[in-house]
Amino acid sequence: MKKLLFTTLLAGFMTMDLSLAADQVATVKLENGMSVPQLGCGVWELSEAEAYDSVSMAIKHGYRLIDTAQYYKNEKATYNAVRDSGIDRDEFFITTKLWPRYATEQDIRMAIDTSLENLGGRIDLMLIHWPYSHDELAWKVMEDYVKKGSIRAIGLSNYTGEKLSHILKIATIKPVVNQIELHPYNPRTNDIKENLDNGITVEAWSPLGAGRLHLLVDETIIEIAKKYHKSAAQIILRWDIQKGVITIPRSTKENHLKENIDIFDFSLSKEDMEKIDALAEVKGRALW
Ligand SMILES: NC(=O)c1ccc[n+]([C@@H]2O[C@H](COP(=O)([O-])OP(=O)(O)OC[C@H]3O[C@@H](n4cnc5c(N)ncnc54)[C@H](OP(=O)(O)O)[C@@H]3O)[C@@H](O)[C@H]2O)c1
């Protein structure tokens, strides 16, 4: 807040860094009491060099929540960007995901230990990336890491219906997050409700359609963007924030990273939220 006031007072006198301070990003409280920024950045499909650069730029512009995965093969580069930022590790919230292929306790432990080594010995949130036949065992092993303290919270990704109910039934530590595909063409209204009913915070993956859908040139979104003097990406991400979900857009471009976090100075009206909600009925498209 201090930074915003300072830049406002100086406006017009000099060129200044208008990047957002991390404390301007809204936060959500998980069921276990942990506070998490509602907006972060993802690093899927980024090479190690791209992940390092993207996360470094993101940190500069106020991002403190970072989403990686074993599958992305860039955990180490992601952590190195955090380490090299010089900012206290406690200010960050790093998520990674267990790839659903390990069938024995020993293999699951080996995979988690590798992630821990890549991520400097601490994981804030570990998710099971997709449902799989040994996920009950994986969950029990992950619970053990939480009890020992090297993983702070555990959750799921891409879990719905019976798969979600099963983990909830066997869990002694409940999942705090479920990361699912969620964007205006696939708003997952019922899934949001199912998760909320179980005390689980929803996190939106591919919030911008992964560059594969036409969300950013959708005429309804463009029309709303013009009205608020914002970009299409900002309108979609603001829609996420007002839906109460965590959102983790990815970008390799500094101007996009800066733009994507600059969504905490305006609100979409109820009517515009509903116009965006209605896109699912018209377009109804999911990525997978
Ligand atoms: N749990 C899962 O199964 C799962 C699955 C998929 C993704 N995820 C997570 O969710 C994160 C985000 O999803 P995603 O990576 O699929 O894609 P996304 O964030 O929906 O979209 C990324 C694409 O949008 C472009 N973009 C970003 N900001 C923009 C802006 N302001 N204006 C115009 N274009 C913009 C990026 O291009 P530029 O680089 O040119 O900006 C990139 O092509 C992933 O990185 C990953 O961490 C999880």
The Cα 62–Cα 262 span in angstroms is 10
Torsion over CA: 148, 153, 155, 157 (sign): negative
Q: Whose CA is nearest to atom 13 of ligand 1?
A: 206
Token pair 């300072």 is found at: 6
Which amino acids are annotated catalytic? 72
Please, which residues have CB within 8 angstroms of residue 93's CB and are 6 or more apart in sequence? Answer: 34, 36, 37, 40, 64, 65, 66, 124, 125
Q: Whose CA is nearest to atom 41 of ligand 1?
A: 251
The Cα 149–Cα 137 span in angstroms is 19
β partners of residue 98 = 128
Q: Which of 31, 25, 26 is nearest to 196 (CA)?
A: 31
Measured in Å, residue 120 CA sits from the centre of ligand 1 at 25
Q: What is the CA radius of gyration of the chain?
A: 19
The Cα 276–Cα 221 span in angstroms is 7
What per-residue confidence (pLDDT) applies to 7?
35
**Given the CA of residue 256, which atom of ligand 1 is nearest to it?**
31
Token pair 């992964």 is found at: 210
Token pair 């109910």 is found at: 165
Percent of the chain residues past pLDDT 90, beyond the cut: 88
Measured in Å, residue 193 CA sits from the centre of ligand 1 at 24
124 touches 146 (CB < 8 A): no
67 touches 41 (CB < 8 A): yes
Residues with CB under 6 A from ligand 1: 42-44, 67, 129, 157-158, 179, 205-211, 216, 231, 233, 248-253, 256, 259-260
pLDDT, one tens digit per residue, over 46-67 is: 999 999 999 999 999 999 999 9
What per-residue confidence (pLDDT) applies to 286?
73
The Cα 180–Cα 8 span in angstroms is 38
120 touches 75 (CB < 8 A): no
**Given the CA of residue 249, which atom of ligand 1 is nearest to it?**
19
Q: Whose CA is nearest to atom 47 of ligand 1?
A: 42
Of 94, 163, 205, the one to substitute when testing ligand 1's pocket (max ligand atoms within 8 A of C-beta) is 205
Domains of the chain in sequence order: 26-283 (3.20.20.100)
What per-residue confidence (pLDDT) applies to 20?
63
Q: Whose CA is nearest to atom 24 of ligand 1?
A: 211
Measured in Å, residue 211 CA sits from the centre of ligand 1 at 7
Is pLDDT at 14 greater than 70 in this prediction? no
The Cα 212–Cα 208 span in angstroms is 9
pLDDT, one tens digit per residue, over 233-284 is: 999 999 999 999 999 999 999 999 999 999 999 999 999 999 999 999 766 6
Is pLDDT at 69 greater than 80 in this prediction? yes
In angstroms, the Cα distances linking 140 to 68, 109, 151, 153, 173 are: 22, 11, 13, 13, 9
Q: Whose CA is nearest to atom 48 of ligand 1?
A: 205
pLDDT, one tens digit per residue, over 156-215 is: 999 999 999 999 999 999 999 999 999 999 999 999 999 999 999 999 999 999 988 899
